[in-house]
Amino acid sequence: MHQVGRLPTGALLQERDVCSEGVEVSDINQVKLRGRAGGDAEVKTLPNATLVTVRIATGESYTDRSGSKVDRTDWHLVACWGKVAEQATGIRKGDVVTVEGQLRTRSYDKGGEKRYVTEVVAKSVVVDAQDRQPQVERDDAPPIGEDDIPF
């Protein structure tokens, strides 16, 4: 009988996930990003907490089938709470930032229409102080409007 959630012998695993055949692996929701801030961190004071949001750009380059170089930039919304929010308040546009956290998708209502947003809820944020000036020009981050994402 095949058991869902078990890995075959020889599977590549992180040491804390499985140490021998037959040990079940729990779900993993881990994100690690290193990229440039698309704008200054935005601080929102809520009734019971402070929220800091920032958009992080990550990029890659590849060669397509025709031999042309293609540059791709992905934008990630990062939400920081508590002590992580305190660390993130100093993030400025162009800063190189490393973020570790979890992906979360949540819904909200805007004008009677249900909308969804996927964000990285940060568990740690590190700004590379040695590289505060942008080395690579990137498109500006799409704006985060007050009306777009309610908190």
> What per-residue confidence (pLDDT) applies to 69?
96
CATH class of 31-127: mainly beta
> What per-residue confidence (pLDDT) applies to 6?
54
Residue type at 93? K
> Among candidates 137, 36, 144, 35, which has minimal Cα distance to 93?
36
> What per-residue confidence (pLDDT) applies to 26?
83
> What per-residue confidence (pLDDT) applies to 129?
77
Q: How far is CA 147 from the centre of its chain?
A: 21
Residue 120, classified by CB atoms within 10 Å of its CB into exposed (0-12), middle (13-18) or buried (19+), is buried
Cβ 80 vs Cβ 68: under 8 Å:
no
> What per-residue confidence (pLDDT) applies to 10?
52
Residues in the chain where the model's pLDDT stays below 70: 1-24, 131-151
The answer, as to whether pTM is greater than 0.85, is no
> What per-residue confidence (pLDDT) applies to 84?
97
Cβ 95 vs Cβ 127: under 8 Å:
yes
Measured CA to CA, the distance from residue 26 to residue 6 in angstroms comes to 10
Measured CA to CA, the distance from residue 72 to residue 51 in angstroms comes to 29
Measured CA to CA, the distance from residue 119 to residue 105 in angstroms comes to 6
Measured CA to CA, the distance from residue 35 to residue 73 in angstroms comes to 10
